[in-house]
Structure 1
Amino acid sequence: MTAFLTQQRLGSVLKVTLNDPETRNALTRPDQFQEIVELCEWLRDDHSIKAVVLTGSGASFCAGGNVKDMSERGGIFAGSPYQLRDSYRNGIQRIPTALYNLDVPVVAAINGHAIGAGLDLTCMCDVRIAADNAKFAESFVKLGIVPGDGGAWLLPRVIGMPKASLMALTGDMIDAKTALEWGLVTQVVPLAELEAAAMDVAERIAANPSHALRLTKRLLREGQHMRLDSLLEMSAAYQSLAHHTADHAEAVAAFVEKRPAKFTGE
């Protein structure tokens, strides 16, 4: 069995591609879930990587769960209700906790359909850029199931509860233009320009010190569920760490001397 994820290192940016085009990069196998979790664990420890671009191979970004497996009650959809619950808890639900909580910024380059768990996967990323042919759907209800991978928590935090409710309760598909209008994506470009556009954002992110990037992303994540006073305390603690990094000193010196900064990750 070939690896689900392919990787390409581009300076301080890592391009990661979901690589199972025959299934439209469906998320349905335990080994796929494990690859994503292990990637996040590795990225957490490698401070030389400052940003990730996540995209799909073929015509789709990610088609979500494999409907064929659902119809046959096979794979992760096999077994009793209790076994199915554990399949979700020990399987696909490991992805949102690993990817959403990853300190390295992730840019989703959405090259085609992002359906069900595929849409939720984009919401685990920090920035979303779509090709003009991309389609999006929170389509679980059309299959008589519910968002099982955290979509009911993720999607409202990206586009707001009213629009998330509309998508989740109708299961209807929206196009890239609507996704842009609703704030689901920040940019829509022709498919041929998607990788360049995503890399441009990733490189602009990666131009900054790795410590500051990781601490900033963590504050943004924690700020979604903390009180302001609690977040201010956390921000003060993080700021005290940031002020004592060599990259902070270099950034200030470069600003004063009007020259490009040279960051070392220290």
Structure 2
Amino acid sequence: MTSPARAGSSDSSAPVVRFEVRDRIATITLDRPGQGNAMTLQLCTELVDAVDRAEADDEVAVVVLTGSGRNFCVGADLAEGFHAEGREPHPRHRAFQERFGHIAGVPRDAGGVVTLRLAAMLKPLVVALNGAAVGGGASMVLPADIRVAGESTRLGFLFPRRGMVAESASSWFLPRLVGMARATEWVLTGRLLPAPELLASGLVARVVPDGEVVATALDVAREIAANTSTVAVALSRQQLWSMLGAASPWEAHAIESRGVYALPAQADVQEGVAAFLEKREPSFPMRVPRDYPAYGPRWPEPPPATPGSQ
């Protein structure tokens, strides 16, 4: 089934994000190919709506994010402009602020709204990177769990080349993913990064021919959906990300001990053990969010009174 993320989610124009569920995989497609899938407030809002929809669906096990046309996302649509300090906000900026709120006394960065919503998702996220992914389009892929790139993919954190500070929470994610030395070189030069360099850095898991990017990402998603417990995957995703900022491995030990104690009484562990002993493929019955345990982390924890963070 293919549909817009949410009819009338941001304004009256045609939807710019497509949403499809098939075989327990939700595919979210940025759909402004003529503009390189450049980010507008409408696109950001519809993308958040699509993530909300995927997370709320118990039958969705994995999410694949990609872009239509030649490019994944060329960053902010400069034709829309920014709501800058000292200016009266356009009605579309005002509507975005009313939904997603302020932080530190200013409107939330739209790219950061997207990145943090992707990060908070319980379902695993696989990104299929085609063509250019720059600016906010590069930052958007950082919360993904697995990234597949095409041979011609170019990724760039171009912010200083446009006089802009690193945004979309990239200054938090990027050093943790590729190390501080590499992150500073990438951001301070703002250069375009070819696919082999992205692979060598570990930022992307695979580089494949351009025409095979989406198919490869879907193959990865099917492997997760067919062979793993959605509850175990959701818990593991949240644990791995949330422990990046933990002060001690004891914090991980505390959460893991809860899971090791509680999960063997649940249907998925019983099915996993039975399938192994009977030499067959498992059919895990538990679902997310329905069966996600109360002790499971929900990361990243937003500041108090920050709307639209999860």
TM-score normalized by structure 2?
0.79
Correspondence 1:110-121 to 2 at 5 A: 110-121=129-140
For structure 1, the residue ranges without an aligned partner over 5 or more in a row are none
The answer for the alignment partner of 1:22 in structure 2 is 34
Question: Shift in Å at residue 78 of structure 1?
Answer: 4.7
Establish whether residue 36 from structure 1 lines up as the match of residue 66 from structure 2: no
- AA aligned to 2:46 is E
- Tell me how far apart the structure 2 counterparts of residues 236 and 61 of structure 1 sit (CA, whole Å): 40
Question: Shift in Å at residue 88 of structure 1?
Answer: 4.9
Give the root-mean-square deviation of aligned CA atoms: 2.0
Correspondence 1:1-266 to 2 at 5 A: 1-29=13-41, 31-69=42-80, 74=81, 76-78=82-84, 80=86, 88-89=107-108, 91-207=110-226, 208-226=228-246, 227-265=248-286
- Tell me how far apart the structure 2 counterparts of residues 239 and 55 of structure 1 sit (CA, whole Å): 35
Q: 1:90 to 1:213 in 2, by over 3 A?
A: same
- Tell me how far apart the structure 1 counterparts of residues 168 and 86 of structure 2 sit (CA, whole Å): 19
- Tell me how far apart the structure 1 counterparts of residues 262 and 87 of structure 2 sit (CA, whole Å): 47
Question: Shift in Å at residue 127 of structure 1?
Answer: 0.6
SS of residue in 1 equivalent to 2:27: strand
- Tell me how far apart the structure 1 counterparts of residues 250 and 87 of structure 2 sit (CA, whole Å): 42
- AA aligned to 2:108 is R
Give yes or no for contact 1:104–1:214 (8 Å, CA) kept in 2.
yes
- AA aligned to 1:62 is C
How many percent of aligned residue pairs carry the same amino acid? 30
- Tell me how far apart the structure 2 counterparts of residues 142 and 82 of structure 1 sit (CA, whole Å): 26
Give yes or no for contact 2:109–2:168 (8 Å, CA) kept in 1.
no
- Normalized per residue, the structure richer in helix is 1
Question: Shift in Å at residue 82 of structure 1?
Answer: 9.8
Q: 1:43 to 1:130 in 2, by over 3 A?
A: same
- AA aligned to 2:280 is R
- Tell me how far apart the structure 1 counterparts of residues 74 and 131 of structure 2 sit (CA, whole Å): 9
Q: 1:82 to 1:93 in 2, by over 3 A?
A: farther
Q: 1:233 to 1:206 in 2, by over 3 A?
A: same
Question: Shift in Å at residue 257 of structure 1?
Answer: 1.0
Q: 1:82 to 1:172 in 2, by over 3 A?
A: farther
Question: Shift in Å at residue 68 of structure 1?
Answer: 3.3
- AA aligned to 1:146 is V
Give yes or no for contact 1:211–1:242 (8 Å, CA) kept in 2.
no
- Tell me how far apart the structure 2 counterparts of residues 81 and 223 of structure 1 sit (CA, whole Å): 40
Give yes or no for contact 1:135–1:175 (8 Å, CA) kept in 2.
yes
Question: Shift in Å at residue 44 of structure 1?
Answer: 2.5
- Tell me how far apart the structure 1 counterparts of residues 67 and 163 of structure 2 sit (CA, whole Å): 26
Q: 1:7 to 1:90 in 2, by over 3 A?
A: same
- Tell me how far apart the structure 2 counterparts of residues 49 and 198 of structure 1 sit (CA, whole Å): 16
SS of residue in 1 equivalent to 2:245: coil
Question: Shift in Å at residue 38 of structure 1?
Answer: 2.1
Q: Quick check: 31-40 or 213-222, which moved more?
A: 31-40
Question: Shift in Å at residue 23 of structure 1?
Answer: 1.6
